[in-house]
Chain A
Amino acid sequence: MQEILVLAFGITLLFASVTNMLSSIIKILVVQGLILFGITLLKSTHLNWVGFAFIALETLIFKAIVIPWFIDDTIKHNQIHREVEAYVSNFFSLALMSLIFLGSFALAGFSGQHSGKLFPLEFGIAFATIIKGLFIIIANKKLITHLMGYLIMENGIFLLSLAVGGDLPHIISLGISLDIMLSVLIGVLFIKRIKSTFDDAESPRQLRED
């Protein structure tokens, strides 16, 4: 069951390469949050009240509900154009995604051979997610897309901490959630500030292509 969820996580990354709409990436963030919730539930062997509440707060509430709502609100408020404006076409994005999968699974396979505590499947997908998040940041024009890429990267780091064996260490999760909260706050404030200073938050678009 766990593996199906992890692979579904991988499929969302493929979806992120294919789509052209900002709202789809927000939906991807929601789905990723839900999947992470499911995975952590299945992985935690012993669970008390506090642990369960913490996990639920972080993944379900934070990643799947609050942050996407926040971003959605920012987009509507700033009237950001609804398309993802990428520097590379979808084809190269997909091709690169396939190569990233191959590479991160190769890495997972080769390091999994030496250490026993590594879960190569989760490691591979987590690593691919981190690189995909970085790629989204590099290859897109809009600021809001950079923010979403950063969030995907954080999801990947979260999954990575699950991949390296054992139960969920709470300190890491605390650090990650703090990180996410701060980054979202700063990003949103930054965008709102830009909006109020200049008229639009995007770079000027040419009417004619050369």
Chain B
Amino acid sequence: MSIGFIILFLGLIPALWKRSGLFSIVWLMGSGFIAFEYLEVLYSRNVQDYLLLFPDPIGTANIGLNKLSAFFGVIFSIGLPLGMLYGHFYLKEHPGPGLRSHLFWLGLLGLSMHGLLWMRHSLLFLMLWEVMSISSFLCVIQDRSASLKAALNYIITMQIGAGFLIAGFGLLYLQTGSFDLSTLAAMPRLPMYLLMIGFAFKAGFVPFSSWLPQAHPVAPAHVSGIMSAMMIKAGLYGILVIISINSFNLREIAIFCLISVVTAFWGVIHAMISSNVKKALAFSSIENMGIIGIGLSVGLLGLDAGIPMMATLGFAGALLHTFFHSLFKALLFYLSGNILCASHTLEADQLGGLAKAMPRSAACFLIGTFAISALPIGNAFISEFSIYTGLLSAMAAHDLPAIVISVVLLAAMAFIGALALIAFAKLFGIIFLGEPRSEQATKARECPRGMCLPQVVLVAGILLTGIFGNVGLRFVKPLLRWMQLDMSGYIGLRNTFSQISIVLGIVLLVFGLLYLIRKLCVKDIVSPTWGCGYHKPSPRMQYTSLAFVHPLSYFLKPFILIKKERIKAEGLFAREVEYAEHSEDPFWKCIVEPVSKALNWFFGLFSGMHNGRTDAYIAWCVGFLIVVLVWVLGFK
């Protein structure tokens, strides 16, 4: 097929020989070649198609790329080699058993993600989807000491999602008679809903997102980064394929919009109250998927209401955010690996003051925080700006449902953006700034240079796309044209981004000037922090993460299930007092747990049969045969 693919396939060989360095280099080379191919498809008209003959029932399979697959392909080919590179350095610091198989599954994961984009045949697509799920599960359990329960939760949820996909594709075959996805003009409703739900499982929309915050904290850092930055996008790819084929009526758009807003809100609230870095990042991924969903619904709404600018800007914003999210989320997950390396804990309340010990990582995390809170130098600002502009342009049109939905979305996005800023200000501030709160934090040292290399590359990418918004926009342009959207909105956005680049340039210039003046003219005297008259300040006096979000968490109590366990102080001279609280996932608690309890109870009824005595089993078999005999002879 293509050279890049073959090189990537050959990458499995060094994996089996435990040569992770060679593995990453092969991945870098292969991704370079395959990225070149994807870019060629994206920018020129060469759409390569292969027809492969498989034995029945698969039949002829159409394998090729369209512009949408090429877009996602470029995202994968930028993120995956950086992930493999980081994994090489991370695994050197955290050696563990099973390196051979871990690298093999990692390579297989990357291959299946790329292969998914080429498949236009639903059965082959499903097969590669399953390979992706299983190989990611096997990558997640690399760290054997961590909980297996979360990983099992993950794979089972993925299988349920795959079940929906199988049902959807199966119904599609029954109703249209072919497996081919490239020739579909419109899908019948029921398979489309089933497919959307199946893809939503992977993408992490609420209420199917319980696996994300459980699977990511137990996985090693590079796997979390790859999964969150790229594998989730595979689900999004499926949703975009469906959107590009069908058109939706207002009610469906409203439902999609509602789900996206709830997803974003849910994700950001839980990110606010999590003190484990990886858990907060996982919830933040859920939030970002919600924002992409909001962007998509803005685009769909624009198409439905006939406001072309809103449609173009909404889709542009969603696609830009997909690309940018893969950059900054990967960066932050790799940095969490750095934190784990340096201080052996991921709890923010045990850390602190790491910026003095790890200045490089702290600077990268600062840029990542800017990116994830959509502050102007980071790149999420560019994508959210497009979505905001799309919504504001709808306010000037005169379509009532569009205006009402736009008002709600504007308020929701601004609120969610502010909450994201709070969540990551808390995370950055408590982990990196201030004084170390524990022994482990005091002993932290900067990680080796190799671990910082992929992060520096990602930071450069974030700054480039954040300050020069047109870079990202040029990347998205062929896709907008392919979706037949009105390009005047694109031209307006391009001019706007040039002006934003100029303004951001002025911000950085003035900042640089002032900082230089300060550095040259002002002398610093260092002395301990003002303790306001208290003579023995200690690091424990600093704010903790829950305390930081406390003013708002009071208002968010109805939305978060917090279970408190306490032993209260009793009597005049209390012996022991204890207080612990942890948040629970209501979807898990209210939907999955009762079902699994019911299933356990049901199967428990038959546990009497399991007594280990052979004669009892023979008796059951004989009884069953007698019943079947009677039934066949008597009733047939």
Interface residues of A, Cβ cutoff 8 Å to B: 91-92, 102, 106, 109-110, 113
Contact = CB atoms under 8 A, between A and B. Distances in A.
Contacts of A110: 400
A91 B555 contact: yes
6 contacts: A91-B555, A92-B555, A102-B407, A102-B408, A106-B404, A109-B400
Contacts of B407: 102
Given A109-B404, A110-B400, 7 more contacts: A91-B555, A92-B555, A102-B407, A102-B408, A106-B404, A109-B400, A113-B400
Nearest to A91: B555
Nearest to A113: B400
Contacts of A113: 400
Contacts of B400: 109-110, 113
Nearest to A98: B411
Main secondary structure of the interface of A (DSSP, over half): helix
A109 B404 CA distance: 10
Interface in B516-568: 555
Interface string B35-63: 00000000000000000000000000000
A106 B407 CA distance: 12
B632 to A, nearest CB: 63
Interface residues of B, number: 5
Nearest to A106: B404
B403 to A, nearest CB: 9
Nearest to A109: B400
Nearest to B408: A102
Contacts of A91: 555
Contacts of A106: 404
B209 to A, nearest CB: 25
A175 to B, nearest CB: 34
B570 to A, nearest CB: 14
Contacts of B555: 91-92
A110 B250 CA distance: 15
Contacts of A102: 407-408
Contacts of A92: 555
A52 to B, nearest CB: 39
Contacts of B408: 102
The 6 lowest CB-CB distance pairs between A and B, nearest first, are: A91-B555, A106-B404, A109-B400, A113-B400, A110-B400, A102-B408
A109 B400 CA distance: 8
Nearest to B555: A91
B241 to A, nearest CB: 34
B397 to A, nearest CB: 15
A102 B407 CA distance: 10
A20 to B, nearest CB: 17
A92 B555 CA distance: 8
A91 B558 CA distance: 13
B379 to A, nearest CB: 32
Contacts of B404: 106, 109
Interface in B388-423: 400, 404, 407-408
Nearest to B558: A92
A91 B407 CA distance: 21
A109 B401 CA distance: 10
Nearest to B400: A109
A17 to B, nearest CB: 15
A210 B364 CA distance: 45
A109 B407 CA distance: 14
A113 B399 CA distance: 12
B549 to A, nearest CB: 16
Nearest to B407: A102
A91 B553 CA distance: 13
A177 B400 CA distance: 38
Interface string B11-40: 000000000000000000000000000000
Interface string B312-339: 0000000000000000000000000000
Interface string B364-401: 00000000000000000000000000000000000010
Interface in B416-441: none
A113 B408 CA distance: 21
B300 to A, nearest CB: 20
Interface in B258-308: none
A142 B407 CA distance: 36
A106 B555 CA distance: 26
B562 to A, nearest CB: 16
Nearest to A105: B404
Interface in B127-147: none
A92 B407 CA distance: 20
A106 B400 CA distance: 9
A112 to B, nearest CB: 10
A148 to B, nearest CB: 26
A50 to B, nearest CB: 42
A109 B403 CA distance: 12
A93 to B, nearest CB: 12
Nearest to A112: B400
